[in-house]
Amino acid sequence: MNIKDIDLNLLRLFDAIYRTRNVSRAAEALDISQPAASQGLSRLRMVLDDPLFVRHAAGVRPTPRADRLAGVVRQSLGALELALTEAASFDPAQSRRVFRIHMSDIGEGRFLPALLQALRERAPGVRIDTRPVAATEITDALDDARLDFAFGFLPQVRETRRVKLFDDRYIVLLRSGNPFLKRRKNEVPLEDLRELEFVAVRTHRETLRILHLLGLEDRLRLTTEHFVVLPAIVRATDLGVVMPRNIARTFAQEGPYAIIEPAFPLRDFTVSLHWSKRFESDPAIQWFRDLVVEVFADPAD
């Protein structure tokens, strides 16, 4: 085989099929017909003398050679795309770029106000588009530019560039008049938590995992989809919520809330900013990363 026998569009097709595990979805992503995609795959198989993908119940499954090629092809396409499209520099004052960012609902409340303030002062034309993505899909979404950045505690996300912003821990937020607080200070034995009932958010799995590890699932009275409703529920009831201390402190300063800090398992965690290795040299990515670090990173680190 010789490199001159490889059409760049065939490599784009290979990358799309590898990512989607489906020839039809790859054709749709590349805006070509399904027969054209099948013909292209046949040409690539002939050139490489390997089937590359075999039929599977949910689509296709890559061969070992396809697995070996995938990373090189993706990195090469990313480098070429970046070289063809990026400007020599990024002028934030003049840019109208849209940055696509993964944040949870709780992350939006934590990061967006200060981030938008910083952008108004330095890059008034830059826009933010938040796009919550399943944790298992974040790396691919960053690599294929559906996302530019991901904020948060994302232990499942690997093979990305990342920078630590700050350390945090899970605590319990209660209303300040909760009867549970009358006989207790900040240090609360774990066994005493069985006297509480809880509300939790389905998408914040670590908090549900903590309740599971403590054997408190039977004390869970409400599971909801969104974080934004929790402060009102806690304020109006005797329910407690396991949540990040960084966010809880804001509520405690502005309303009738109290914070207790039991010695949870898995209570300490790190909030980071993630981006793709493919776009490491993109001037806009570099500028936005530096801005986020300046605004949010703990100066003690």
- Which pairing describes strands 127-130 and 98-102: parallel, antiparallel, or unpaired? parallel
Inform me whether the pLDDT recorded for 255 exceeds 70: yes
Q: What's the rounded mean pLDDT across residues 183-211?
A: 86
Lowest mean pLDDT among 27-31, 116-120, 236-240, 269-273: 27-31
Please state, in angstroms and rounded to a whole number, the distance separating the CA atoms of residues 195 and 153. 29
- Which has the higher per-residue pLDDT, 94 or 3? 94
Stretch(es) of the chain classified as CATH 3.40.190.10: 98-166+270-296, 169-267
Three-state secondary structure call for residue 12: helix
Stretch(es) of the chain classified as CATH 1.10.10.10: 3-85
Please state, in angstroms and rounded to a whole number, the distance separating the CA atoms of residues 6 and 285. 31
pLDDT confidence band for 99 (50 / 70 / 90): very high
CATH number (3.40.190.10, 3.90.340.10, 3.40.50.150, 3.30.800.10) of 98-166+270-296 reads 3.40.190.10
CA dihedral 79, 81, 82, 83 (to 10 degrees): 80
Q: What's the rounded mean pLDDT across residues 257-261?
A: 91
Q: Is the pTM of this model over 0.85?
A: no
- The pLDDT of residue 169 is 93
- The pLDDT of residue 170 is 93
The tens digit of pLDDT for each residue in 203-244 reads 788 899 999 999 999 999 999 988 888 888 999 999 999 999
- Which pairing describes strands 268-275 and 220-224: parallel, antiparallel, or unpaired? unpaired
Lowest mean pLDDT among 95-99, 119-123, 148-152, 253-257: 253-257
pLDDT confidence band for 60 (50 / 70 / 90): very high
How many beta carbons lie within 10 A of that of residue 194, not counting itself? 12
CB within 8 Å of 134: residues ≥ 6 apart:
none
Percent of the chain clearing pLDDT 70 (strictly above): 94
- The pLDDT of residue 186 is 59
- The pLDDT of residue 82 is 66
Fold of 169-267: D-Maltodextrin-Binding Protein; domain 2 (3.40.190)
Q: What's the rounded mean pLDDT across residues 90-102?
A: 92
Q: Which stretches within the chain are classed as H helix? A: 8-20, 23-30, 34-48, 64-85, 105-122, 138-143, 205-213, 230-236, 245-254, 283-296
- The pLDDT of residue 247 is 86
Please state, in angstroms and rounded to a whole number, the distance separating the CA atoms of residues 11 and 140. 17
Inform me whether the pLDDT recorded for 59 exceeds 90: no
Task: Dihedral sign for Cα 24, 28, 34, 39, please.
Answer: negative
Tell me the residue ranges of DSSP E strands in 142-238: 149-152, 161-175, 197-201, 220-224
CATH number (1.10.3720.10, 1.10.10.10, 1.10.730.10, 3.40.50.10800) of 3-85 reads 1.10.10.10
Inform me whether the pLDDT recorded for 299 exceeds 80: no
- The pLDDT of residue 83 is 64
How many beta carbons lie within 10 A of that of residue 13, not counting itself? 25
Residue whose C-alpha is closest to residue 44's, from 29, 71, 62, 59: 62
pLDDT confidence band for 249 (50 / 70 / 90): confident
- The pLDDT of residue 78 is 79
Spatial contact of 92 and 123, defined as CB atoms under 8 Å apart: yes
pLDDT confidence band for 301 (50 / 70 / 90): low
